Amino acid sequence: QVQLLESGGGSVQAGGSLKLSCAASIIMYSSKCIGWFRQAPGREREGIAAIVTGSHFTVYADSTQGRFTLSENMTRNTVYLEMTDLKPEDTAMYYCANGACAYPLVSMLDEQYYQHWGQGTQVTVSS
């Protein structure tokens, strides 16, 4: 069964940190790209980061570069998104997704390359 499960969302004050997790079934995990997206109310879904699983190759959107960091635990088939210096504009529903990698890797910030999506986890940052 294809499955992605996000966790780790919550409410923090500006300047705070959160670490999101995306647990994937092994069928989806091997040699694939895992991407993180977010969608705020009234706005389009935005690609913020992606990783080629097992390779440590990553790409970040300009809006998150330097503040968000991807990592993975291959034994747990889990990708993490550590978010620091959070701002109110980071408030959104955060989703992880899985797909075959496309290159250049910056392509993986585009949702069209993803086939499977999790249900999302809410992140709320107050000022």
Percent of the chain past pLDDT 90, that is, above it, reads: 84
Residue 98: per-residue pLDDT: 93
Contact partners, residue 112, CB within 8 Å, separation at least 6 = none
**pLDDT tens for residues 104-123?**
999 999 999 999 999 999 99
Residue 17: per-residue pLDDT: 98
Q: 10 Å Cβ neighbour count for 5?
A: 14
**pLDDT tens for residues 49-105?**
999 998 889 999 999 989 999 999 988 999 999 999 999 999 999 999 999 999 999
**31, 54 Cβ separation under 8 angstroms:** yes
